[in-house]
Amino acid sequence: MPGFELSFTARNVLTGAVLLGISGGVMGCFALLRRQALLGDALAHAALPGICIAYLLTGAKTPLPLFLGALAAGLLGALVILAAVRWSRLQQDAAMGIVLSVFFGLGIVLLTYIQRLPLGNQSGLDKYLFGQAATLTPEDVRVMAILSAVVLVTLALFYKELKLLTFDADYGASLGLPMRRLEILLTLLLVVVVVVGLQTVGVVLIVATVVTPAAAARQWTDRLGVMLLLAAAIGAGAGVVGALLSASIARLPTGPVIVLATSAVLVASLFFAPRRGYLWAVLRDRRVENRIRRENLLKDLYRVAEDRGGAWRDLVAWPLLMGLRGQSSRRLSRSARPLQRRGLLERSGDAVRLTPEGHRQAAEVVRKHRLWELYLTHRLELPSDHVHRDAEAMEHALTTEAVEDLDARLGYPEQDPHGRPIPRPELRTTAGSLP
């Protein structure tokens, strides 16, 4: 690559790829949210007979008639899908599969028919199918730009209505909006984008330029507006990467590089996106797990003290604690150290004990456990030997408000089903005065 001077072809490809990235990304958001991710795939295949018929009618490979032919066939395919779902008991996936394969099969029939015509110059129809970005002419790019602009402007004009269609079509209908017509409008826009993209990335990969940026954007936000902008940015960025890489490395096709770049963004989003990402989920799980361990340790100390007649300032031997849950010394230390740091636990040599604040929090956990056990035996009439396991889980999940409510509903009981006392939060006030 000579510096950053791009060749004429490469500039065309770059412009085309960015246009497609933006319009595909934006339309993809709607397709994704409406659970029609694969509609783009079906429509791209359905466009083939339209291209062939347009060619048969005009006898020339000028972009506009072929575009219109593809558009018409794609729209017809979309309407067939809508009709088949509405008028038969077929599901959307089957309707899409049928339109995809039958229209494409018909296209192949027409294609082989055309190849037998004595017209000549018919090779190259397939570039509309399998995507050869390098064959994009300035005129192609101009048509792409105009159509993309039309799509984006229409989306902006009908943004509120289409948003309603996507999230709550019934509500929209009750407001008197023409939901079916809006649905057809949205499908038409998708057909336009798909047809625009055919020549750049091809019939197989077009679905990824529509779905993947939207799927990646979805991981970062719950707001449609933000999602649209993100998807457009991801699509455009992948377009730039695809165009530049394929321009600078020999025999590297543009479409697949665009798709892989978008897929890389998707994988990164799935891992790192805040709140929804795998990484965050793992961290969150670990945090919860650690809290459960700490609460269990507090509870164990409380129970030991209870067995010793309530002497919770006495030291408890380390090996005894290890034995209670069969934990290794290291694992127990991992729970004990943060408790020490927070001043809930004191360690002296090979033994530990609760601080007053630690004792208060331990009592809180035990209280949740025992109230829940009581609730299960009283209200659900479970036998008392069946409730411990459930309470083991609930003691970490119940909020303070829920516990107070539970306490009130049970009539402020004194004892759990096993006859052990239920600690009261009054301990908080007495805790300071205890030795």
Binding site for another protein (CB under 8 A): 32, 35-38, 40-41, 83-84, 87-91, 93-94, 96-98, 100-113, 116, 130, 204-205, 207-208, 210-212, 215, 218-219, 251-253, 255-257, 259-260, 263, 266, 270, 276, 278
**Closer residue to another protein in complex, CB, 94/427:** 94
Shortest Cβ 157–another protein spacing (Å): 27
Least distance in Å: CB of 299 to another protein?
A: 32
CB of 211 to another protein, least distance (A): 4
Taking alpha carbons only, the member of 265, 170, 253 closest to residue 213 is 265
- For residues 270 and 410, which CB has a smaller minimum distance to another protein in the complex? 270
| Residue whose CB is less far from another protein, 32 or 344 | 32
The sign of the dihedral angle between the CA atoms of 387, 393, 397, 399 is: positive
Q: And the tokens for 218?
A: 């979805």
Q: Which is nearer to another protein, 69 or 77 (CB)?
A: 77
CB closer to another protein out of 126 and 346: 126
* Rounded distance between C-alpha atoms, residue 387 and residue 415, angstroms: 15
Q: Which amino acid is at 398?
A: L
Closest approach of another protein to the CB of residue 154, in Å: 23
Least separation in angstroms between CB 320 and another protein: 42
Q: What is the CA radius of gyration of the chain?
A: 33
Shortest separation between residue 264's beta carbon and another protein, angstroms: 9
Shortest gap between Cβ of 97 and another protein (angstroms)? 4
Closest CA to 365 of 345, 393, 406, 323: 393
Sheet holding 351-354, edge to edge: 316-317, 351-354, 345-348
Which of 219/361 has CB closer to another protein?
A: 219
Q: How many CB atoms lie within 10 A of CB 409?
A: 12
**Residue 73 · residue 56 · CB < 8 Å:** no
Which C-beta is closer to another protein: that of 236 or that of 265? 265
Structure tokens that stand for 226 in this block: 């933000």
Q: How far is the CB of 89 from another protein (least distance, A)?
A: 5
Closest listed residue to residue 19, CA positions, set 212, 217, 242:
242
Contact 303, 366 (CB under 8 A): yes
Q: How far apart are CA 343 and CA 339, in angstroms?
A: 6
Query: CA 41, 44, 48: angle at the middle one, nearest 5?
Result: 140
Q: Are 39 and 190 in contact (CB under 8 A)?
A: yes
Complex with another protein: residue 187 or 219, whichever CB lies closer: 219
